[in-house]
Amino acid sequence: MRAHLHLLFIMLHFSRGCDVSDVSQTKVISGYSGGSVLLPCSCAQPQSTVHTFSWQFQQTVNTWISVFENQKYRDRLVLFNESSPTNLSLLISDLRKTDEGYYKCLTEQNTPTFVQLTVQGCDLVNTGKTVELTGNSGESVLLPCSCTELLTKPEHIQWMYMTENNYKEIYPKEEVESHKNRVKLLNQNTPGNLSLLISALTIKHQGTYYCSVSPQQIVYFILTVKENPYTHPISSTTHEPPHHFTNLPAAQPAHNTLHYVFILLGIFLSVLLLTLLVFIYWRCRGGRTVKKEITKESNDGEALKKEPDSQDDVMYSTVVYVKTASKESDTQHH
Ligand SMILES: *[C@@H]1O[C@H](CO)[C@@H](O)[C@H](O)[C@H]1NC(C)=O
Ligand SMILES: *[C@@H]1O[C@H](CO)[C@@H](O)[C@H](O)[C@H]1NC(C)=O
Ligand SMILES: *[C@@H]1O[C@H](CO)[C@@H](O)[C@H](O)[C@H]1NC(C)=O
């Protein structure tokens, strides 16, 4: 009965329009996030003419929205009716998880065909786990992170590094100075491979990292950086290392040496000045009179037998001799 009515319907409208094929069953199509899918739809009769047609997405149970007029699908849809007017298939690219659901293709005949679309997102390998890694200073290290299905291109990807008890982004935004220009993803061929390569490792890159594609999909890493015993002699010899960071330890001692030179120069100048002052003092008071006093005092049996053997002794003795000398001159006047 239904089939007869349908046939009648087709015959009535044959000259006017297109009845889409496969109206009785819902096709199931699946794609990967970031990828594209073709939702098939065509006229049952290749000779029919298509006046209008549309693709609609089921937003709620009773609400269908036209994909052509929805912002969500903007710049992601391709039709093929231009080259083959009865081919009403729709290509959706850059798939998102939110594209998942029911679609229907219908012409003015209002007998739609249904397509159920599933979009496989990125499920990270080892999600929720912590991976421990060791790298050598001066070399590079790969932090492995990937979607279980390597063809999935995650909608979001973020690499974070713990610094000062906070996680900061190192990819795609480079918020940490020590990681700038040293991190890159190696996923040209496989969109689901989110592994991060850190090059020219230093001790500063040691710590906790995580790779995430959504709040539920996270893999943690603990990276240990070993000092490479062979990179240190290189930095102190004339052989120029290729990475600028190896210059840093070499620059540090040079800076320190300059400090020591200044300190030593300061001490040397102070000693020189002191010696000069003592010498001038000694000359002003006249070395000869003092010498005379020495013999006088010695004759008088005073305890000044010690020979001055250092600069300090000279100064001390000079002061004492001068005092005694002036005393004697005083007594002579009386
Ligand atoms: C193809 O379909 C679109 C959407 O219905 C329509 O706007 C356009 O005119 C069609 N192109 C041709 C060549 O029929
Ligand atoms: C419609 O066009 C697409 C793209 O060229 C093609 O892959 C598909 O097979 C066509 N469908 C039909 C029914 O011809
Ligand atoms: C991801 O890419 C890196 C670098 O090309 C490679 O070493 C690694 O094996 C890849 N991971 C997977 C899961 O394919």
Q: Determine the pLDDT at residue 205.
A: 96
Q: Report whether 138 contacts 231 (CB < 8 A).
A: yes
Q: Which atom of ligand 1 is nearest to the CA of 53?
A: 5
Peptide bond preceding 172 in cis form (omega within 30 of 0) = yes
Which numbered ligand comes closest to the C-alpha of 150? 3
Q: Which amino acid belongs to residue 302?
A: E
Q: Determine the pLDDT at residue 23.
A: 84
3-class secondary-structure state, position 189: coil
Query: What CATH number labels 2-120?
Result: 2.60.40.10
Which numbered ligand comes closest to the C-alpha of 211? 3
The span from the CA of 197 to the CA of 134, in Å, is: 13
Q: Which of 19, 99, 92, 35 is CA-nearest to residue 65?
A: 99
Q: Determine the pLDDT at residue 189.
A: 86
Classify residue 87 by its DSSP letter: B
Q: Which atom of ligand 1 is nearest to the CA of 81?
A: 1
Whose Cα sits closest to atom 11 in ligand 1? 82
C-alpha 290, offset from chain centre: 77
Per-residue tens of pLDDT for the chain, all 334 residues: 555 555 545 455 445 589 999 888 899 999 999 999 999 999 999 888 999 999 999 999 999 999 999 999 999 999 999 999 999 999 999 999 999 999 999 999 889 999 999 999 999 999 999 999 999 999 999 999 999 999 999 999 999 999 999 999 999 999 999 999 999 998 878 999 999 999 999 999 999 999 999 999 999 999 999 987 665 544 444 444 444 333 334 334 445 555 665 656 766 677 677 777 766 666 766 545 444 444 444 444 444 444 444 444 444 444 444 444 444 444 444 4
Classify residue 20 by its DSSP letter: B
Q: Which amino acid belongs to residue 177?
A: E
Residue 89 CB–ligand 2 contact under 6 Å: yes
Residue 21 CB–ligand 2 contact under 6 Å: no
Whose Cα sits closest to atom 11 in ligand 3? 193
Whose tokens are 């001490």? That residue is: 267
Burial 125-135 (b: 16+ CB within 10 A, else e): bbbeeebeeeb
Report residue 259 as tokens. Answer: 């400090």
Residue 45 CB–ligand 3 contact under 6 Å: no
Could you say which architecture CATH assigns to the domain 130-228? Answer: Sandwich (2.60)
Q: Determine the pLDDT at residue 103.
A: 98
Distances (CA, A) of 232 to 23, 173, 236, 251: 73, 32, 7, 13
Report residue 214 as tokens. Answer: 């959504």
Whose Cα sits closest to atom 6 in ligand 1? 52
Classify residue 86 by its DSSP letter: T
Bridge partners, 53 (sequence order): 107
The span from the CA of 67 to the CA of 73, in Å, is: 6
Distances (CA, A) of 208 to 161, 166, 193, 200, 211: 6, 10, 20, 18, 11
Q: Determine the pLDDT at residue 63.
A: 96
The span from the CA of 26 to the CA of 182, in Å, is: 50
The span from the CA of 246 to the CA of 257, in Å, is: 19
Give distance in angstroms: CA of 51 to centre of ligand 3: 50
Give distance in angstroms: CA of 89 to centre of ligand 2: 7
Q: Which atom of ligand 1 is nearest to the CA of 54?
A: 5
Report residue 208 as tokens. Answer: 């906790």
The torsion angles phi and psi of 211, rounded to 5 degrees, stand at: -115, 130
Q: Report whether 55 contacts 146 (CB < 8 A).
A: no
Q: Which atom of ligand 2 is nearest to the CA of 38?
A: 7
Give distance in angstroms: CA of 82 to centre of ligand 1: 7
Q: Which atom of ligand 3 is nearest to the CA of 146?
A: 13
Residues of the chain with CATH 2.60.40.10: 2-120, 130-228
The span from the CA of 53 to the CA of 79, in Å, is: 11
Q: Determine the pLDDT at residue 186.
A: 86
Q: Which of 120, 90, 97 is CA-nearest to residue 30?
A: 120
- Where does ligand 1 bind, in terms of residues with CB under 6 Å? 53, 79, 81-82, 85
Whose tokens are 């120029």? That residue is: 240
The span from the CA of 317 to the CA of 307, in Å, is: 9
Residue 217 CB–ligand 2 contact under 6 Å: no
Q: Determine the pLDDT at residue 270.
A: 74
